Amino acid sequence: MINRYKEAARTLIESKQQVPLHMIVNRNNEPASWDDHHWTLSELNGVTTSIPLHNIVTAGNLRSRTVPVHGQYSDTERHLLMAYILDLRIKRGSKSALLDKIVAARHLIARINLFSFSQQTINDLHDKYEGKEWLTRYMPFITWLQGYNVVADTIKVHSIPNKNSGYGDDAKAKSEKRMPDERALWAMGAIRNKIIPSKVPKGVFQRSLRDEFIISSATLALGSPQRLAKEQFVLSKSTLQSKMVSLDGKKDSKKQKVHWMDWKGSKGFQANRKHFFRGAAIPVSQVLNYWNEVGEPARILCRFFEKPCLELKDLLGDYTPSNLEEFDVSKPIDNMFVLGYLLGFYDGQKEQTVTLTPGEKYASDKPTKQIQDITLADKVNLFAESKVLFGSQFQRVNMDEKIGNIFSGIHTVAQLQDKWITYIKENVPTFPYRIIGANKVALSHALFIGTGAQMTVHMGGYAMSHSYYAIESTELSNTLSAGLRHQRDSTIYERHGFASDISLTPNQLRHWSNTMMQKSLDISDSVIAIVSGRKDIKQNTEYDHETDEQKVAKVRNLFRAEQTVEEMKKEVRVVGHQKYQEATGKASTLTATGICTQQITVNPCTYLNDFESHCALCTSSCHFAHDEKAIQLLEDDLRVQQHRLQDLKGDEYIFTNTIKQAWFKRHHRNTFLLEQLISLMKREDLKIGTAIKFVNNSNSFRLTNLDKRLVEEVKVLLPDSEQALQQLIEAKQTQQKAATHDENKLTELFAEFGLQGEL
């Protein structure tokens, strides 16, 4: 089969080989050619750049003029690198930037096959070489290859900040991009409460569980740091376990409840206990219990595909279908369609009668049977009168000749079942496992699993993946990514009535949970590495050999202390403080006018204004509607600030002092915003305790109902502070002219009496 990426590379190389190699020589100082393994570029200003073209991994910093065979790239790889160098040279960047990009490209070429790699290959590369400098610089090479169709445009390169980039605005902006949109976190909580029921409803096998899967995966990711795609999808069905332990390891100390589940980490970790944030315990338990139940029929189906002759009691395990009394559990189930009936695949489906084929294909007297009564000996025509067997959602798709030859025509149920199981194993080559990197899970025990009817997204998957009897019909990581951020389809937020611009990536979920531990909680880096599943032998050994009490002592600050009765006073601010922490799982601090969401024990407050209430208008500050004490303080402050603005009318330096003018404009704007904040806190239609937060980058106030998770954005009305300053200056000038006019009149009056001189 022709590899289209290789063909694109060949076309690219042929076009670049027509370009003259001006001012380029080889190691022997001869005019360069495409057979060389070393180029030296010369510029008109006399600067030269020496570029080795051998395999940087197998030959390292080779100094010999002759490159051994083991240190050579293939001709195609080397020529692609040469073509890349020619295009980089045209851009005329700095010499160091040029070399950095070329070194990164050499590393990438040495480690992957450019014509047969996937997104998983890139992900594995980052896990294996995490921290390597070249990982931060190969993105331009991938982008360049994609521009010439040498690499699939679906490949996404990880964004890794350069450690030398400093802590300026650019670095801060990149860091903020790695954090999720706060609205997305609120929306996910509301959606989870809406679509994840405490009990699995009927008819769940006839509809898509795409959104349930997306929201459940995100919930687990927020509950504890993890490499989502590499760790979550190899989890076995499990429950969240809890235990009361003392925080400092002493028997007589105050005890706290901790939560964990058995977890397969990535990067070489075997199963270990992963602790979850206390605030995430309820939603995490909710989604685990949901998938333990809703995924069990698909797990049973996988067990049947492995061993159809299993006795029914062994096939079902602890699962008890509602119609089990109709069957003898000491015997094997007759066939997979009867099993589907038992598991509820056809519940709510109007048509449950199968037309059989007694003899010739076009026989007129065709008998019928209920699905639960068909036997291995019965004859059926899957794509004609018997297509009800594969479910109401199943439709005949555009199949190639091979698929048609397998399933078209008349088969006994036994023949059809054997062919179907073979077909599934061919389309799920890792069956009976799901394998991701070094980890695997038996599909018959996987946490996140569903039938084709439940998990297939639109027309994705293999040819017959919409059937009730299909498994592994979708790439879980792709389904998750597509649901959380804007791609070809709508996001989960849009599908449930939230704003269309909300979007996040799975990696942002990991970054958020790690950041919450690093900034919101006083935990050592070693413990964070353990909870995050990072491989470090020393830390791993220490963690595994400690007692439960010692382990918990290390993560004691994951949990908030219980509040006393005195702290539970019925004040708006206190109640709002509680609700905010319960809703977000983030610690916060009470202030005189609201709460502060910044972790000031780790990052001291750097916000400054010259109001009396210093927290007002800080983006980390949150106020609450109808908090009378806070409103009174802010109103007093507002009057003070308005007087300060008025006082400038008597300042003789307002004309010339640019610092005073800048202060006036800034203070005029902030005073105006403070007035609007007070108005919002007093707004009659807002529920008592509604959280009000200023969002500087969008010039708006975000109002959040902490009970219903409803968010409202209120755009601020910005004053024209420049015009206000000009009016102030003009008023001052008018005053001075009037005073000068009065002084002139007084001087004339003195002159009439023979008094000379100036006042």
Instruction: Indicate the pLDDT class of residue 334, thresholds 50, 70 and 90.
Output: very high
* In a domain? residue 176: no
More confident residue, 387 or 518: 387
Domain boundary among 129, 160, 191: 160
Instruction: Indicate the pLDDT class of residue 556, thresholds 50, 70 and 90.
Output: very low
* In a domain? residue 259: no
* In a domain? residue 620: yes
* Mean pLDDT for all residues in the chain: 77
The structural domain count of the chain equals 2
Q: How many CB atoms lie within 10 A of CB 64?
A: 10
Domain boundary among 139, 160, 181: 160
Residues 6+ apart with CB under 8 A from 700: 694, 713, 714, 715, 716
pLDDT in tens, 34-68: 999 999 888 766 678 889 999 998 888 776 778 88
* In a domain? residue 337: no
pTM of the entire structure? 0.51
* In a domain? residue 751: no
d(CA 643, CA 652): 17
Is 302 in contact with 471 (CB distance < 8 Å)?
yes
Domain boundary among 122, 139, 160: 160
What are φ and ψ of residue 520, in 5° steps?
-90, -20
pLDDT in tens, 70-127: 889 999 999 999 999 998 887 766 777 888 899 999 999 999 998 888 888 888 888 7
- At 67, which amino acid appears? V
User: For 349-356, which contacts have Cβ atoms below 8 Å and span 24 or more sequence positions?
Assistant: 349/206, 349/388, 349/391, 349/392, 350/392, 351/388, 351/392, 352/388, 353/388, 354/378, 354/380, 354/385, 354/386, 354/388, 354/389, 355/385, 355/386, 356/380, 356/386
pLDDT at 506: 81
Instruction: Indicate the pLDDT class of residue 250, thresholds 50, 70 and 90.
Output: low
pLDDT in tens, 173-215: 444 456 777 788 888 888 988 899 888 777 677 788 999 999 9
* In a domain? residue 324: no
Distance of CA 621 to the CA centre of its chain: 25
* In a domain? residue 234: no
What are φ and ψ of residue 245, in 5° steps?
-135, 160
Question: Has residue 507 got a pLDDT over 50?
Answer: yes
* In a domain? residue 436: no
Please compute the mean of the pLDDT values over residues 421-431 and round it to a whole number: 89
Q: Range of 666's domain?
A: 566-719
- DSSP-derived 3-state class of residue 230: helix
Is 360 in contact with 442 (CB distance < 8 Å)?
no
